Structure 1
Amino acid sequence: SNGSVAVSLPPPADPSNPRDGEKSAWYSRANHDERMRRVVDRARRGCTKKLLYKRIPVLTWLPQYNLSVAASDLVAGFTVGLTVIPQAIAYANYGLYSSFMACFVYTIFGSCKDSPVGPTAIAAILTRENLHGLGPEFAVLMCFLCGCVVMLMGILQLGFLIDFISGPVSVGFTSAAAIIIATTQIKDLLGLSFPGSKFLDVWEQLFEHISETRLWDTLLGFACMAILLLLRKAKDIPVGPADTNKRTTLQKVLGQMLWLISTGRNILVVVVCAVMAYTFKLHDVEPFLLTGYVKPGLPPFQPPPFTATVGNTTYSFLDMTSSLGSALFVVPLLAILENVALAKVFSDGRAIDATQEMLAIGACNILSSFVSSMPVSGALSRGAVNHASGVATTFGGIYTGILVILSLYLFTPYFAYIPKASLAAVIVAAVVFMVEFHVVKPMWRTKSEPDCNFCSGFRSFMELDLIPAIATFLSCLFIRLELGIVIGIGINILFLLYASARPSVHVEKVTSSSGCEYLLITPDRSLVFPSVEYVRNLVTKAGMKEGSSCTPVVIDSRHIQGADFTAAKGIKSLIEDFVKRNQPILFYNLKPSVVEVFQGVQPKEFKHCHNEAELNELLKGSEFRGIASAFAWRNSDTIKGKPPQTNPKPDLPVIGSPVYCESDTLDHSTTE
C-alpha cells in the first residue's frame, strides 16, 4: 500500500537438518570472508603513501637534502649543542644522558625543524618534585611511562586535550615553575647546602642557614649571572649600517662573532669558571663548591628499570608506578604542551599536527629511557637559538646529538671542576625570562571592567582571564606544580560551564508591520541542560512583566545552534506555562535540527516560523487578533492616550529601547 517492494526471506536454518547445517556453515564462511574483506580494505585505505609520509616526515625532505641545507643544519646543530651541554649538566646528573637519543629520534618522526628535544627546566623541576628522595631509576621509568602515555594519546588522536590548557593557565604555570626553579638554585648561588625543594621550604631553610653563606661562591654566582645577562644582549649591538648588504667584510665578521658569543654564552661562562676552579685546585685552593665526579662514557643501552631498591626498600613495578602518582599524566601533558607551543611559535603560518607531535615526543621518551634519560620535550629557549641559527631541517638534531656524545666520551672528567654557582647562574639566567609579567596588562584589558550591577559584575568577574592565571600561579607556588595546573584547568572549565549555564538574553518590545506589538526575546547561544532552566525563568518573567499576559512572546532562535533532551523538556514546560495563562509564544528562526529535538518530546501548541512573513501571518492570525487589539487598547489607555507605535517601514519591525537580561531581575526602566 505504501509502494514498498516485498522481499521473501528464506526460513531460518534448522541445525538438525543436514542441508540446513551445510547452508548455515556456508553462510558463516561467507560472513567471515566478508568481514575479513572489509578489514583488509580498511587497512589498505589506511596504509597509504600519503599517511606514511605524514607519520615519518623525514621521507618528505630527505630526497631533496643537499650540501647547502646540510651546512645550515650543521651550524645550527652545533650551536644548540653548545647551549644544551651546560644546561643539561645544570638540570640533573643524568641531564646529558637525556640530550642525545631524543635528537636522533625526533629527526625521523618530528615535524617541526626548530624543535630541539631534550631536557627542559619544567621537566626537571617536575621530576625533582615527584621523585625527591627516590633513586634515579624512578626518573628513567617516568620517562618510559610518559612516552607510553604520550604515544597512546597520539594513537587515539587526543590532541584536542591540549586545547583545555588555556593561555592564562599556561602563563601562570610557566611563571610559577620559573620562580620555583630559580628558588631552588639560590642555595648553590650562595654556596649553601640544605634539604628541601618546595618554594616555602627553600626560603625557610635559606633564612635559617643564611649565616653559612660562602663569599666566593656568592661572588662567582652573581658575577656569572650578570655576565650571562649582558652577553645575552651582545647580539643586539649594532655593527655598521642596519642594511646588512651595506656592511663591510670586517663588520659582518664582527657581527657574526658577537652573535656567536651571545649564543654560546652558557658554555663560555662554564668553561671559564671550570678553568678557574682547576687552576685553584692545582694550587690546593678550593674557594668554590664543585660539581664533583660525573660518570664518564655513554650509558648502557638497556630497558628501563621495572624494579628498584632505595636503601633497604625494594619497589616493585606497581610500587614505583604508584609512587609517581599524578605525574604520569601531568608530565606527558606538559611535555606535549611545551612542544606544540614551540612548534606554533616557529611554524611560519603552517598548520601544526598535534597528533604527529605526540607520536614523535612519545617515541623520543620511550627510546630515551633505554639510555637512562629523564622525561624530555622541546625547549623554547633552545628552539629560539635553533631558529636564529638558520636550521633547515630536523637533521640539525643529529649534529647536536653527536656533540653531546663527544662531550660524554672526551670531556666528562673535566665536568667535575665546574663550580655549582656557575651552573646555578646558567639556570637562573635562563628561567628568569620565563616569568611572563608582561602579559598581565593585556589579559586585564581583554575584558571590560566589572559592571556595578551585582549579577553583571559577577559575570564580568568570571570572564577575567587573570583569575585562572593567578589561581594557577599561586597553587603551583604553594601547593604542587602538577596540582596547580589541574586547579587552573578546573577553574577554566568552571568558567566555561558558568558561561554555558548563564547566557545573555536580549528582551525588547517590537511592533510588526501589521501593527501587532509583541515581546521579542533573543538568547545569545545554544540551549543545553545547564542553561535551560535559567532561560525558561527569564522568558517566563519577561512575558509576565513586560506588558500583559495577552502579549505575544516571540523567541528569536537564530543563535540557538543546538539543543539536547533536557533543553527540549524545558521548552515543553515553558510552552505549557504559557498555554495555561493563555499567552501566545512563538519560536522564530529555529534550525531544522533543533525543531526535531523539540518535537521529540511532543510539546503541545509548539509553533515556529522560519521567516518574517510567516511570523507576521501568525501574529495577525485569528487567534492573535483579539489579543493584539486588547493590548493596543490598554497601551493607548496607559501611554497618555497615544495609539500604539506603527512602523514607518512596513518591511522592518519598530524596535523599542532594548533591555539586556542577564539575571533573574529584569530592568524595565528604559522600556517604552
Structure 2
Amino acid sequence: MTKYKLNNNVRSSSEVTLTSYLSGSMEGKKDNVFQIQLDPDLTKCNVCPSSCEYIDNGLAALEKTCDKFGLNELKVESLEDVCLCEKYNGGCKLCPRSSPAPTLTINLEGAQKECLSCHGVSLYQNSNGSYPGNNYPEKKSRWRNNMTKRAKSCCSKKTLLRRLPILAWLPDYNLSKGLADAIAGLTVGLTVIPQAIAYAGVAGLPPQYGLYSSFMACFVYTVFGSVKDSAIGPTAIAAILTRENLHGLGPEFAVLLAFLSGCVELVMGILQLGFLIDFISGPVSVGFTSAAAIIIATTQVKDILGLNFPGGKFLQVWSGIYEHIGETRLWDTVLGFSCILLLLLLRKVKDIKISDSSDNISDVAGIEETVSSSSKVRAGASQALWFLSTTRNILVVLLCSALAYYFDTKNQTPFVLTGTVKPGLPEFSPPPFSATVGNHTYTFMEMTSTLGSAIFVVPLLSILENIALAKVFSEGKHVDATQEMIALGVCNIVSSVVDSMPVSGALSRGAVNHASGVATPAGGVYTGVLVLLALQYFTPYFYYIPKASLAAVIIAAVVFMMELHVFKPIWRTKKLDIIPAVVTFATCLLVRLELGIVAGIAVNLLFLLYASARPSVRVTRAVSSDGVPYVLATVDRALSFPSAEFVRRALRKAPSDAPLVLDAHHVQAADFTAAKGIKSLIDDFHARGQTIIFYNVKPSIAEVFRGQRHKKAYLNTSCPNKE
C-alpha cells in the first residue's frame, strides 16, 4: 500500500469520498494523510488513479491520458513539497526524479514493467520545451532558450509579413485589383475633401489643416495597414477632442498632439496594451459617442445660422446662440437647412430599387436580348444612383460654391464664406516642440502640460474607433489589433511631419470604401493623390465654399452617430448598465468629453468592485451517498480582500449541528487577506467544535491558504461523485 497526501482535486479517485473524512475526527490524522489502495488487477498506475494506456495505444494515447491524471493534486509522502506535476510544469507527470521513486511500476498481466512515462521516454514535448525523463534543463538555460526563441520569432518571415502587410498582398497585385482600388480611392477622395475642410473647422483650425491631415496617413496605411476598408484621416471625434484641448492656442498644439498620439499608439501596439480598450464598456462607448455627436452638431449650428462668437462647448454654444439670435443671417439659415435636407435625401437615393421592365414582356422572339439589355440598364441606373448618393457631400459643396461664386460676380455676399485657404503643399518639418502664442513662448513641457489628458485619451479613442471599423468590415476574419495600433501610430507620427492633426479610421469613409469594392489597402494611394491635387491646384476655389454648407455636411454625418436608440435595449437587457451610460453621456455633454469617459469607466469599476466585495454565498443542507448529513456552502467567485470578511460572516451563520463542506469550485483566485480570513474561519469552527472541510480547492489557492501556516488541522479534498 502506497501513501499519498491529497492536495485537492483528485478527480478520478472513487476511493476517496466524503465518508472517509467523516468517519473519524480530525485530531487523529496527521496533516490529512490518507491511504489509497489501488487494485493491481485493474492495471492502475501506482501513482495516478488512471489506466496506463500507453502500452497498447502508443505515446499519443499516453499524452492524452496524462492530461486526465490530475497529478497536480498528489504529493508523494517521502518527498515533501514536491508536486508530481508542477515540478515539471506539464512535462514528465509521474515522478520528479528517478532515484527517490524506485517503486513507480505498473502491474500489467502479472509482469512488472517500468513506467515509460518516467524512465522509458527520453523526450517529452510540450509548449514549454522538451522534458527528458532524467535530464530536466536548468532554469537558467530555459530562460535563455525562451529568449532565443522570442528573438528568432521576431525575425521570422511570418512576423515580417504580419508587421508589413504590404509584403503579403503586393506579389499578387494585378490590373483587376488596381482598377477596383482606383475607383474606391477616388470615390473616398471626393468624400474626404469636403469633410476634411469641415473637420478642420470643428477642431478650431484653418481649413488647410484638414487637407494636410488627409493624404500622408493614406500612403503610410497602405504599407502598414491590415484592413483594406479602413480609410485613415481626420474624424469627427478626433476633431472635437482636439478642439477641447487646444484652448485656442493655435495649430502647433494640434500637430504636436498628433505626434504624441502616434507615439502612444505605437508604444501600445509594441507592448500589446490593446486590452486597455476593454475597460471601455458598451454603455460607456454609447454614451460617449452620442454626447460627442450632439456637441459636434451643436458647434455647427452657429454656422448654419450665420453667427460668429467664441465658444465650442455645449452649454457655451447654446448660451451664445440665445444671446445672438437676433443676428441670424436669413440666407445662411435657408442654405444650411436646405443642404441638410438635400444630403439626407441623397443618402437614401442608393436604396431606391429600380423595377425590372422585362417582367411585363411576353414570351416572344428576342426576349433574351431584351432581358439582357434591360438588366444592363437597371445595373447602370443602380450604379449611377449609388455614385450620386456616395458623392453627395462633394456635389452639395460644389453646388453651393457655384452659387456663392455667381453672387460674388454680382457683387453680392448673401453667405458667410470659408475665405482664403493657404494654397500649395505643406512643408516637411519636424513637429513643433515649442510654440509662440502672443508674447509667450511655450516650451515642450508647457505644451504637453496644456494638452494634458488628451495625449492619452485621443489615441485610446482613436484605437477604439479604428478597431471597431476594422471589425465591422472584417467579414468574420481575424483583426490583428496589435498591427492596427502600430499602423495608426506610424500614421500619426509621419502625418505630424506635414502639419496634420490627429487622424484615425472613419466609419463613414470605411463604408464608402467597402461599397466601392476596394481590393487592397492601396486604395488609400489614390485618395491621397486626389487630396494632393486639390491642395496644389484647387485651393483658390475653396474660398467660395459657404460655411453653412460645410456645417450641413458635418451635421448630416454626425446625426447618425447618435446611438440614443441603444438605451432601450440596454434597459431591457440589464437596467443597471444604464447608469454608466447616462453618467458618461451627461458628463461629456455638460463638462468635458475625456472626463465623461473617465467617469463612465469609474462607475463600471465601482460595479465590478462591489460584485467582488459581495460574492454569493449559498448554504444548504445535504446528505452524502452513505447517509452522512452535512452543510454545503458554495462561494461563486474569487476570494479577495473586499470579500474576505463578508464570506467569513456568512459562513459563521451556517448551522452548527453538522460538518460544513465549503465547495471552492468557483473560486479562481485568493489573496493574503482572504487567507487570513480562512485562518480565522478555521479558528471559529474549531472553537465551536464543528468540522470544516475545504472541497475542490485549486492547488494555487491551497498554497495561498497554507501560507498562513495554521497550527490546527487543514482538511482539503475533492471528489468526483458530488452528492
Equivalent in 539, 561, 564 of residue 671 of structure 2: 564
Does the residue aligned with 1:587 lie in a helix, a strand or coil? strand
Q: Answer yes or no: is 1:46 the counterpart of 2:161.
A: no
CA contact (8 A) 2:288 2:584 kept: yes
Q: Distance in 1 between matches of 2:422 and 2:460?
A: 32
TM-score normalised by structure 2 residue count: 0.76
Task: Give the structure 1 partner of residue 285 of structure 2.
Answer: 170
Task: Quote the offset at 1:141 in angstroms.
Answer: 0.7
Task: Quote the offset at 1:529 in angstroms.
Answer: 2.1
Q: Distance in 1 between matches of 2:580 and 2:393?
A: 35
Question: Residues 39, 500 of structure 1: CA spacing in aligned structure 2 closer, same or farther, 3 A cutoff?
Answer: closer
Q: Answer yes or no: is 1:184 the counterpart of 2:304.
A: no
Question: Amino acid of the residue matched to residue 68 of structure 1?
Answer: S
Task: Give the structure 2 partner of residue 461 of structure 1.
Answer: none
Task: Give the structure 1 partner of residue 263 of structure 2.
Answer: 148
Task: Give the structure 1 partner of residue 513 of structure 2.
Answer: 386
TM-score normalised by structure 1 residue count: 0.82
CA contact (8 A) 1:550 1:584 kept: no
Question: Residues 36, 605 of structure 1: CA spacing in aligned structure 2 closer, same or farther, 3 A cutoff?
Answer: closer
Task: Give the structure 2 partner of residue 667 of structure 1.
Answer: none
Task: Give the structure 1 partner of residue 172 of structure 2.
Answer: 64
CA contact (8 A) 1:550 1:582 kept: no
Q: Distance in 1 between matches of 2:699 and 2:672?
A: 15
Q: Answer yes or no: is 1:202 the counterpart of 2:317.
A: yes
Q: Distance in 2 between matches of 1:154 and 1:307?
A: 27
Does the residue aligned with 1:411 lie in a helix, a strand or coil? helix
CA contact (8 A) 1:81 1:400 kept: yes
CA contact (8 A) 2:648 2:677 kept: yes
Question: Residues 41, 474 of structure 1: CA spacing in aligned structure 2 closer, same or farther, 3 A cutoff?
Answer: closer
Q: Answer yes or no: is 1:375 the counterpart of 2:502.
A: yes
Task: Quote the offset at 1:487 in angstroms.
Answer: 1.0
Q: Distance in 2 between matches of 1:85 and 1:500?
A: 50
Task: Quote the offset at 1:491 in angstroms.
Answer: 1.2
Task: Give the structure 1 partner of residue 212 of structure 2.
Answer: 97
Q: Distance in 1 between matches of 2:668 and 2:388?
A: 58
Equivalent in 610, 617, 624 of residue 498 of structure 1: 610
Task: Give the structure 2 partner of residue 18 of structure 1.
Answer: none
Higher helix residue share: 1
Question: Residues 158, 578 of structure 1: CA spacing in aligned structure 2 closer, same or farther, 3 A cutoff?
Answer: same
Residues 271-325 of structure 1, C-alpha deviations (whole Å, 9 max, x = no match) = 0000000000000010000000000111001111111111111111111111111
Q: Which stretch shifts more, 375-384 or 41-50?
A: 41-50
Task: Quote the offset at 1:602 in angstroms.
Answer: 2.2
Q: Which stretch shifts more, 410-419 or 552-561?
A: 552-561
Residues 214-267 of structure 1, C-alpha deviations (whole Å, 9 max, x = no match) = 000000000000000010000000113599998621111111010000000000
Q: Answer yes or no: is 1:538 the counterpart of 2:645.
A: no
CA contact (8 A) 2:356 2:378 kept: no
Residue correspondences, number: 569
Task: Give the structure 2 partner of residue 220 of structure 1.
Answer: 335
Task: Give the structure 2 partner of residue 322 of structure 1.
Answer: 449
Q: Answer yes or no: is 1:106 the counterpart of 2:106.
A: no
Task: Give the structure 1 partner of residue 490 of structure 2.
Answer: 363
Residues 179-209 of structure 1, C-alpha deviations (whole Å, 9 max, x = no match) = 0000000000000001111110111110000
Task: Give the structure 1 partner of residue 473 of structure 2.
Answer: 346
Q: CA RMSD in A?
A: 2.3
Question: Amino acid of the residue matched to residue 573 of structure 1?
Answer: S
CA contact (8 A) 1:150 1:332 kept: yes
Question: Residues 96, 243 of structure 1: CA spacing in aligned structure 2 closer, same or farther, 3 A cutoff?
Answer: farther
CA contact (8 A) 2:153 2:159 kept: no
Does the residue aligned with 2:544 lie in a helix, a strand or coil? coil
Q: Distance in 1 between matches of 2:391 and 2:144?
A: 59
Q: Distance in 1 between matches of 2:498 and 2:682?
A: 68
CA contact (8 A) 1:556 1:588 kept: yes
Q: Answer yes or no: is 1:287 the counterpart of 2:399.
A: no
Task: Quote the offset at 1:37 in angstroms.
Answer: 10
Q: Distance in 2 between matches of 1:596 and 1:241?
A: 75
Q: Distance in 1 between matches of 2:288 and 2:720?
A: 51
Ranges in structure 2 where 5+ consecutive residues have no aligned partner:
1-77, 80-96, 100-141, 201-206, 360-370
Question: Residues 41, 599 of structure 1: CA spacing in aligned structure 2 closer, same or farther, 3 A cutoff?
Answer: closer
Does the residue aligned with 1:403 lie in a helix, a strand or coil? helix
Question: Amino acid of the residue matched to residue 605 of structure 1?
Answer: A
Q: Distance in 1 between matches of 2:625 and 2:150?
A: 59
Residues 64-89 of structure 1, C-alpha deviations (whole Å, 9 max, x = no match) = 01111111111111111111100001
CA contact (8 A) 1:144 1:366 kept: yes
Task: Give the structure 2 partner of residue 441 of structure 1.
Answer: 568
Task: Name the % identity.
Answer: 66
Question: Amino acid of the residue matched to residue 251 of structure 1?
Answer: R
Equivalent in 561, 578, 593 of residue 466 of structure 1: 578
Does the residue aligned with 2:714 lie in a helix, a strand or coil? coil
Q: Distance in 2 between matches of 1:373 and 1:311?
A: 22
User: Which runs of structure 2 are paired with 1:405-416 in the superposition (5 Å)?
Assistant: 405-416=532-543
Task: Give the structure 1 partner of residue 680 of structure 2.
Answer: 573
Task: Give the structure 1 partner of residue 42 of structure 2.
Answer: none
Question: Amino acid of the residue matched to residue 52 of structure 1?
Answer: L
Does the residue aligned with 1:520 lie in a helix, a strand or coil? strand
Q: Answer yes or no: is 1:528 the counterpart of 2:640.
A: yes
Question: Residues 596, 243 of structure 1: CA spacing in aligned structure 2 closer, same or farther, 3 A cutoff?
Answer: farther
Ranges in structure 1 where 5+ consecutive residues have no aligned partner:
6-33, 450-463, 614-651, 654-672
Question: Amino acid of the residue matched to residue 569 of structure 1?
Answer: K
